Amino acid sequence: MARGTAKFDAAILQRLRASREVGGHLLSATELAKLLGTSKARVLAYEAGSSVPEPGRIREIAQIFRVHPRELYEPTRGRYDQIKDLRSYAGLTAAELAAQIGVSRTTYRDIENLAILPVRDDGTLPLRLSEALGIPLRMVHRSLDHHPVAADRRAAIAKHLTSIFDRAHVQYQPAVVDPDEAPLVEITELLRRPASVVCRLVNHELGLYRNLLKRHAIASLSVAYAQSTKASEDAIREGEVLERQITEHPVRAAATLVRFLAEAMTSQQWRTVVTLLEAGSVWAPEQAEHEEAPVWQALSARGIVVAERERASAPDGVRMNITAEGWRLSIQQAPLYGCLYPRVASPRPSTRTATRVHRPQVPYAASGGP
């Protein structure tokens, strides 16, 4: 069993059968066994903890007692639910969930045990997980982010970034890192991306770190040359904020790199978004068999674009608009995409306002969910 994974709690099943009425009365072990299609001995074994029911059976028990499957597991004190926990709550085996989200069992094992999403994905895998598990997308991200292995990976990346960022403090030395340097090689292996891509991303973060150092030095000079008490106090506060940002930057940069690479659009999707940022909207074919359809489907599923039908002027197509959230995210991450896809020209956003759209979350199906 994976480190920290929730376990079935036999005592909870005992308490449910002894205290929660079903059909107007408390169930005997024989009656519960009949409803589950199993034997009385098996039910008593579940309650004794000598036998552990499969996820599907736990879901059946939860439905009988009208509780969320999560209530039949030991409380996850001091940690967040992991993907394996969420899969168990949904009553799915690993093979069943892998089939539902359209990945191999090997790929799914990496997601569950290592919190690693496949490199060759269109960015919709977290969405497919949320739909298959019947939970909000934020819970999928939270479970991946707080997986123990993911936390260890970010800490290791932050440690290597700290050693790289140290060079920004040295005068008259270029603050850049090369692909073959040991710290970058280690980061590359942890991120499972090409060294050239990782090198560009790390140098981007190194540039941000160096800018923080520059702003901190200016704030220090502002304190020294302040011409009023208020100006001095403002400069001191600014310096303190910048000092915290400098200290936290390796950790923040590690988290940024991991999350960005896990959720990045494909190069074709990013080219399409760049076009939308510059034009505001474009016409797209409505036919599902068209070669561009998967791109629009993926961007729409992620809430980056929204379709606007205009039957009179374009009976065979739809106008695709970038959403407000898609606009914000794309502008914010444009420098990172410039590192990931250097051959795609940087966007020159138009002055048109992005379309605001509400994209509902997948409902958390049963009571008791967060």
pLDDT of residue 370: 33
Among residues 154, 149, 112, 113, the alpha carbon closest in space to that of 129 is found at: 112
**Topology match between the domains 1-79 and 267-340:** no
- CATH assignment, 267-340: 1.10.10.10
pLDDT of residue 315: 54
**Tens-level pLDDT at each residue, the chain (370 residues):** 444 456 777 888 888 888 888 888 888 989 888 888 889 898 898 888 888 888 788 888 888 888 878 777 776 665 678 888 888 888 888 999 999 999 999 999 999 999 988 877 777 888 899 999 888 888 898 899 889 899 999 999 999 999 999 999 988 888 899 999 999 999 999 999 999 999 999 999 999 999 999 999 999 999 999 999 999 999 999 999 999 999 999 999 999 999 999 889 999 999 999 998 888 778 776 554 455 678 888 888 888 998 876 555 555 667 888 999 999 999 999 999 999 999 998 888 765 555 544 444 433 333 333 3
Burial class (CB in 10 A: 0-12, 13-18, 19+), 79: middle
What distance in Å separates the CA atoms of residue 302 and residue 125, rounded to the nearest whole number? 10
Q: What is the dihedral of CA 105, 154, 269, 132, to 10 degrees?
A: 40
What distance in Å separates the CA atoms of residue 326 and residue 304, rounded to the nearest whole number? 4
Tokens read off for 316: 């065979």
Domain locations along the chain: 1-79, 148-263, 267-340
Starting at the earlier edge strand, list the strands of the sheet with 281-285: 281-285, 317-322, 305-308
pLDDT of residue 365: 35
Question: Taking the mean position of all CA atoms in its chain, how far away is CA 51?
Answer: 34
Strand partners, 319: 283, 308
1-79: CATH class = mainly alpha
pLDDT of residue 363: 36
Angle between helices 40-48 and 10-19 (to 10 degrees): 120
Among residues 25, 138, 3, 158, the alpha carbon closest in space to that of 84 is found at: 3
SS (H, E, C) 127-175: HHHHHHHCCCHHHHHHHHHCCHHHHHHHHHHHHHHHHHHHHHHCCCCCC
- Going by DSSP bridges, is the β-strand pair 305-308/281-285 parallel, antiparallel, or unpaired? unpaired
Q: How many CB atoms lie within 10 A of CB 177?
A: 22
Burial class (CB in 10 A: 0-12, 13-18, 19+), 173: exposed
Tokens read off for 83: 């993907």
pLDDT of residue 278: 87
What distance in Å separates the CA atoms of residue 36 and residue 308, rounded to the nearest whole number? 49
